[in-house]
Structure 1
Amino acid sequence: MSTSTITPVLNLDPDTLLLSTKDARAAAQQMAADYQSKQPFHYGGVDNFLHPEILDRVREELKQLPEAENSYDRPQERLKTSYVPERLPPYTRQLFYALNSRAVLAFVEEVTGIKGLIPDPYFAGGGIHVVANGGHLDIHADFNHHAGLNLERRVNMLIYLNKDWREEYGGSFEVWDENMSGKLASYVPLFNRMCMFSTSSDSWHGNPEPVNHPDGEPRMSIALYYYTATWDSSRKSHTTLFKPRPGSKDQRDRQVARRALLQDLLPPMLHRKLAWRLEKLGF
């Protein structure tokens, strides 16, 4: 069967990028039970997520990318760049707004069972992610606090843009258990595959196997994060936390470990000043 005749999971209109909330909630039913049954944290993946025409149009626009907002090239995050929607071409930008809409929030709430989700209008950390050949992102748990909005991070949605991708090309999205004793799941980043998971300080995931496309093509994805207004002063915020896989060459993130120790030992004002200075010095 041609992919053009397959009904997508989330039936956004390719031209208007609109979808009714009722249809979005109904679409969530096909993955909600499986998603919410996963342990030790909830996660899942589904193919044929959007009309392929939508992502084809995005791929066409992304042939020309602006200068990246963020670039990472250190042992834990190698050859990774990201692009915020506001600087991307118009159709791609509108797709991000659609994926922050009420209807899509209804879909994510139904799948995850988390009510009161809030989209991030600033797309902090989100946008288009590109990992070049040789690049990878080690297993990690994401930052848990949106400081600007004082919100708790709850859900990640990832949509892959890679045509004819194979497992041996690397870059698969992996889910690991809390003790890093075993890999729970692995998803090849196939075109129009969507992976989603509920985030916490123990939701260990990443794409640690280096991208190795025979034609040098990068791994590309759409990344969106959703929040709830459940943060309070009893919580401790953290940046991205990395964990090495057992028996691998993954390196510990000593930079984050140093900052965490300083945060525990120093008064808040002094810690902020010192953290700013260390940031400037590259520590």
Structure 2
Amino acid sequence: MINFAEIENRVMEFRNSLPFPHMVIDGFVEKKLADSLTDEFPNIGDSSLYNYSNPLEKKSALNDWNKFPPNTYKLFEFLCSDFFVSYLSKTLGIKLYPDFGLHGGGWHMHPDGGKLNPHLDYNIHPKLGLQRRINLIIYLSKDWLPEFGGHFGLWSNNPLTNKPEKLEKEVEIKFNRAVLFDTTYKSWHGLSRQVNTGGKNIRKSLAVYYLCDPPEGAEIRERALYAATEDQKDNPEIEDLIQKRAHSLFYKDHYISKSNEK
């Protein structure tokens, strides 16, 4: 089901990559399975999807196991299984735990105009109290062209401002390509280019996150911390939104911007 050999071939790449540990794995799952997974995604207008629409992010997502079709359900079950989590723990040298609730994971879809500002993921799981450690994202858009955008971006961190400093790497979206990275290194990531397919395609991905025991003195961040893009810098409304979006109590009121409410 999974391209274990390629994961193992890229362990040194993972450890030595900049700006933070990561690896890119092509042909992540068997092609027949990848074909079925992309076909199981819902229509972007499906009422079951949760829509994020604000100046920091534009996407649709779903993490409800009951809504996943058979192959998607089985893959998530495998990626959260004792077998795979133990394998990943041994391969990376990190004791990991699955998040069966897929908090922040599941299906992710970006239509035209889709965006995701550079951000740091939550650091401490709001219900389990464990530290989020490893992200696994599998891209499943067929016939995706580089000019469609939606590249996965990795930024370095400015330790003085605690904000992204430089876009160090872009990963093109390709069908059945996966990115696996460590989120505990001030790992600023997001979409480095807005999605623009002219209505021809949807950026589709599956996401699973793995947790670890938090080290003593670990930063407590229960919600994602976003950063402004270049065209948003010095905008007080954006900075206010960033603070509210990161607040553990007020975040739900700011997924959808006032201008987009219907």
TM-score using structure 2 length? 0.83
1:220 maps onto 2:204 in alignment: yes
Q: Give the counterpart of 1:91 among 71, 82, 94.
A: 71
Question: 1:130 aligns to what?
Answer: 109
Cα deviation digits, residues 136-155 of structure 1 (max 9, x gap): 11111111111211111001
- How far is the alpha carbon of 1:36 from its aligned partner? 0.4
State the distance in 2 between where 1:255 and 1:90 align: 38
State the distance in 2 between where 1:194 and 1:36 align: 16
| Paired-residue identity, % | 29
Question: 1:19 aligns to what?
Answer: none
Q: 1:255 to 1:89 in 2, by over 3 A?
A: same
1:254 maps onto 2:233 in alignment: no
State the distance in 2 between where 1:256 and 1:183 align: 20
Q: 1:92 to 1:234 in 2, by over 3 A?
A: closer
Contact 2:38–2:204, Cα closer than 8 Å, also in 1: no
- How far is the alpha carbon of 1:276 from its aligned partner? 8.6
Contact 2:52–2:60, Cα closer than 8 Å, also in 1: yes
- How far is the alpha carbon of 1:229 from its aligned partner? 2.4
Q: Which has the higher contact order (CA 8 A, sep 6+)?
A: 2
Q: 1:67 to 1:112 in 2, by over 3 A?
A: farther
Question: 1:149 aligns to what?
Answer: 128
Q: 1:216 to 1:277 in 2, by over 3 A?
A: closer
Contact 1:29–1:111, Cα closer than 8 Å, also in 2: yes
1:34 maps onto 2:13 in alignment: yes
Question: 2:28 aligns to what?
Answer: 49
Local SS of the residue matching 1:56:
helix
Cα deviation digits, residues 68-113 of structure 1 (max 9, x gap): 35211000002x0111133111221111111112332244334533
- How far is the alpha carbon of 1:38 from its aligned partner? 1.5
Report the residue type matching 1:154 in the other structure. Answer: R
Query: What is the RMSD computed on CA atoms of the aligned residues?
Result: 3.0
Question: 2:92 aligns to what?
Answer: 112
Larger radius of gyration: 1
Q: 1:219 to 1:231 in 2, by over 3 A?
A: same
State the distance in 2 between where 1:61 and 1:177 align: 35
1:100 maps onto 2:80 in alignment: yes
State the distance in 1 between where 2:214 and 2:244 align: 28
1:62 maps onto 2:37 in alignment: no
Which residues of structure 2 form unaligned runs of 5+?
Answer: 159-163
Local SS of the residue matching 1:146:
coil
Contact 1:242–1:253, Cα closer than 8 Å, also in 2: no
Local SS of the residue matching 1:91:
helix
State the distance in 1 between where 2:125 and 2:7 align: 26
Contact 2:7–2:25, Cα closer than 8 Å, also in 1: no
